[in-house]
Structure 1
Amino acid sequence: MKVAKFGGSSVANATQLKKVGEIIKNDSSRKFIVVSAPGKRDKNDFKVTDVLINLGDAFVHDKPYLDYMEVIMQRFAEIIEELAISKKILYDIEETINSVLKWDESTEQKLDALKAIGEDSSAKILSEYLNTIGLKASYLSPKDAGIIVSDEPGNAQILPESYPKLFTLRDREEILVIPGFFGYTTTGKLMTFSRGGSDITGSIVAAGVKASLYENFTDVDSVYTVNPNIVTNPKEIKTLTYKEMRELSYAGFSVFHDEALIPAFKESIPVSIKNTNNPEVPGTLIVANKEDKEKCVVGIASDTGFSTLFVSKYLMNRELGFGRKLFEILERESVSFEHSPSGIDDLSVIIRDNQLNADKEEKILKQIKQELNPDTVRIHQNLAMIMIVGEGMMNTIGIAQKATTALTKANVNIKMINQGSSDVSMMFGIQSEDIDKAIQSLYDVFFEN
């Protein structure tokens, strides 16, 4: 029994949905289908969810919103017409949007409900289409499926009581098509997961029904060892562990939302990443454990948009509570941190740029000077992070030497190195403008030579 999740590119238009239909038809064990909202049909296109967000923002701020409504309805009308299914679904979509706009609910909840309409509509369309090609399928709302979540608009968390309810779905004979991205609270309020949350729904359903495999269909044949926009034709990764995938996702790999695998991970359900446009290719398999003989370093991820808060004080290591006081200052300014490598007299805090602005930076620096009396305190901007990922790295000699040699060869200055906080990754901080040549050189060392 498999759970198959189809991403935005897989349901972007009628042509793609027909491919999805064939994939489901070709394997009778694909009993649970989770779908995203229609994504981009080409690189210059729009995602339906983005237009729904624009519609909601316009409505809330008393600005014209009917143009957004027309764009959304036209997109779904084209899909429904090309699939030759009932136009009743189209009227249902329009009625749902209008109904949400009239809700007497908080703005946050109203916007959450609007965002969810893309996934909900995809599920209704696909289930109807599957029946026209000879498959017995039903649309199942997250409420009826038993996806119960916390009352946190835009950041809902799955509640444990969901899983026994989901398990009962195994008794259903037909194919069940479930919209991703949202669930319902115990009081019946609709709440969305964080952006990219359809992957989370797929993982939750797979864990709940105890699937033999969770298939995540996207528009790439597999996960690649590095970003293909930086390295031409990089090698594919055939097998990954959950820990490796989570580290890669966190560090910039865009195949998965970095929280998505947690439910599947807890149930040790293997995850297969496959291509809707090329479904015969094996793809990448994500498992709990893999054989020791497999390659140590599996991937190199990178991301930009970081700053470093650098604090130096002589004998910092002997000053009780220094680190706690520093992080309390960040907490007061609602700033979370990513990493914090330290030395005897120095401490660096890596922060994503979206956590900071000029006003916050000024307040943080002022409080640190007043409360901690450091010798030096400053913020470095324009930092990029590179993460080398692989199980067994801590027990393999020469990984750090290979990496630093590659960066030296590329004439890249290392601003920060963090090894030891994770047994599956090694992190380097460099200037953002050096990211492409750094990745190319590291790829050559670990995967070409």
Structure 2
Amino acid sequence: MKVVKFGGSSVASASQMKKVASIIHSDAERKVIVVSAPGKRDANDIKTTDLLIDLAEKVIDGSDYNQALSRVVQRFEDIVVGLEMDNDVLEQLKENIINVIESHQIDAWTMDALKACGEDGTALILAEYLKQSGSEAAYVNPKEAGIVVSDEPGKAQVLPESMERLYQLRNRNEILVIPGFFGFSEEGRLVTFSRGGSDITGSIVAAGVEAELYENFTDVDSVYCVNPTIVNQPKNINVLTYKEMRELSYAGFSVFHDEALIPAFKKRIPVCIKNTNNPDAPGTMIVAERPDQQGEVVGIASDDGFLTLFVSKYLMNRELGFGRRLLQILEDEHISFEHAPSGIDDMSVIIRESQMNEHKERKVVARIENELEVDMVSIERNMAMIMLVGEGMNRTIGISGKATKAFNDVDVNIEMINQGSSEVSMMFGIKAGGLDRAVQSLYKAFFAI
């Protein structure tokens, strides 16, 4: 049995849906299908999830939402008409959305329930289209499938009892189409995962049914070793380990949600990333381990939008509990951190800029000064992070030397380096303005023939 997940670009239009159906029909082992909400049809289009967020905001605000509702319904109508299906499924879709609007109290779960209508609508349409194409197929709601999650709107976590319930899907003979992105709490409330959570659903379902393979169809032939918007026609990666993909996803690779592989990883289920528009391409395999691990760099991940919180205090290393108290201040202000390299008198904390606005910055700085009695505290914004990723890289001589030379060659100063905290990656902090040329120079150093 294979579990197959189709992303937003794969189900964005009727023509894409036809490709999806063809891919499913081409392999009888593709028995469980997980789908996203319709994505962008072109660069100027709007994702269905964003249309639903706009609708939800108007419903919650108590403003007129009819135009926003019409835009959502129109997206699905374009697909239904293009597939030459009757209007029954479209009417069901519209009725489901209206029922959510009319039956929900105005709370955090209203936003989740409306956002989930995108994936739910795709699943309803695809299941019906597969049936009209002659296949035995069925729409399966996540509650029916057994996906039980924590009651945390917008950031649900799957609960262990889901695995046993999902395994029962193996007893069904139809092609099962499950909407991604959401599950149901033990109290019966619909709750979504974080944005991009359809990848999480796919991985959860693959783990639950103990699939032979989890295929994730997107709009690229494979994972590239570097961002193709920075380096023209970069090399493909044929095989990655789970750890490598997790690091790459976290550090800016947009192919996978950075939490998505955890359920598959725990069950050691191989994952293959493939292209809906070129399904015969081999794609990229993600496996628990590969025999040829020689410590080479397999990818370069990069992202901007970071800041550095720098704290200095003489004899910091002798002050018991200093690091804990510093991080406690961040926790009190609901700020999560990414990295925290330190020295004997200094400590830096890397934070995403979106976590700390100017108001929070003033409050955090004041608390650090007053409560920790530091010699200096400063915040530097407009930072970027670059990660070299590869299993066993820290056991290979010369990686850091080659990397620092690549930065030097393009006059990019390394503000921070973090090596040793992970056996899979080496991280560099630089000014965001030097990001592109630094990545291009690193690619030349590690991947150019």
The TM-score with structure 2 as length reference comes to 0.98
Q: Deviations over 1:376-427 (max 9, x none)?
A: 2111111000000000101111111110010011110000000011000000
Given that residues 97 and 114 in structure 1 are in contact (C-alpha distance below 8 angstroms), is that contact kept between their aligned partners in structure 2?
A: yes
CA distance in 1, matches of 2:208, 2:328: 39
Question: What number of residue pairs does the alignment pair up?
Answer: 449
Task: Give 1:313's aligned residue.
Answer: 313
CA distance in 1, matches of 2:396, 2:295: 11
Given that residues 136 and 175 in structure 2 are in contact (C-alpha distance below 8 angstroms), is that contact kept between their aligned partners in structure 1?
A: yes
Task: Give 2:263's aligned residue.
Answer: 263
CA distance in 2, matches of 1:255, 1:131: 30
CA distance in 2, matches of 1:72, 1:107: 21
Given that residues 148 and 185 in structure 1 are in contact (C-alpha distance below 8 angstroms), is that contact kept between their aligned partners in structure 2?
A: yes
Moved over 4 A (4+): none
Q: Helix, strand or coil for the counterpart of 2:173? A: coil
CA distance in 1, matches of 2:322, 2:447: 42
Which residue identity is paired with 1:97?
I
Task: Give 2:32's aligned residue.
Answer: 32
Q: 1:228 to 1:295 in 2, by over 3 A?
A: farther
Which residue identity is paired with 2:356?
L
1:305 is displaced (CA, Å) by 0.6
CA distance in 1, matches of 2:200, 2:26: 25
CA distance in 1, matches of 2:173, 2:118: 26
Q: Deviations over 1:21-40 (max 9, x none)?
A: 11001000000000000000
Task: Give 2:230's aligned residue.
Answer: 230
CA distance in 2, matches of 1:337, 1:206: 31
CA distance in 2, matches of 1:335, 1:409: 36
1:187 is displaced (CA, Å) by 2.1
1:294 is displaced (CA, Å) by 5.8
Task: Give 1:55's aligned residue.
Answer: 55
Q: Helix, strand or coil for the counterpart of 2:206? A: helix
Task: Give 1:214's aligned residue.
Answer: 214
Q: Deviations over 1:310-353 (max 9, x none)?
A: 11111111111211221122122221111000111111011110
Q: 1:314 to 1:239 in 2, by over 3 A?
A: same
Given that residues 85 and 129 in structure 2 are in contact (C-alpha distance below 8 angstroms), is that contact kept between their aligned partners in structure 1?
A: yes
Q: 1:362 to 1:117 in 2, by over 3 A?
A: same
Q: How do 1:89-100 residues align onto structure 2 when only pairs under 5 Å count?
A: 89-100=89-100
Task: Give 1:283's aligned residue.
Answer: 283
Which residue identity is paired with 1:116?
A
Q: 1:351 to 1:100 in 2, by over 3 A?
A: same
Given that residues 103 and 110 in structure 1 are in contact (C-alpha distance below 8 angstroms), is that contact kept between their aligned partners in structure 2?
A: no
Which residue identity is paired with 1:306?
F
Task: Give 1:82's aligned residue.
Answer: 82
Which residue identity is paired with 2:320?
L
Task: Give 2:45's aligned residue.
Answer: 45
Q: Helix, strand or coil for the counterpart of 1:102? A: helix
More displaced, 235-244 or 88-97?
A: 88-97
1:98 is displaced (CA, Å) by 1.1
Q: Deviations over 1:125-166 (max 9, x none)?
A: 001111122211111100110111111111111111111111
More displaced, 250-259 or 73-82?
A: 73-82
Unaligned runs of 5+ in 2: none
Q: Deviations over 1:356-379 (max 9, x none)?
A: 111111111111111222222111
- Please, what is the CA RMSD of the aligned residues? 1.0
Q: Deviations over 1:175-219 (max 9, x none)?
A: 000000011112211111111000000000000000000000000
CA distance in 1, matches of 2:250, 2:29: 31
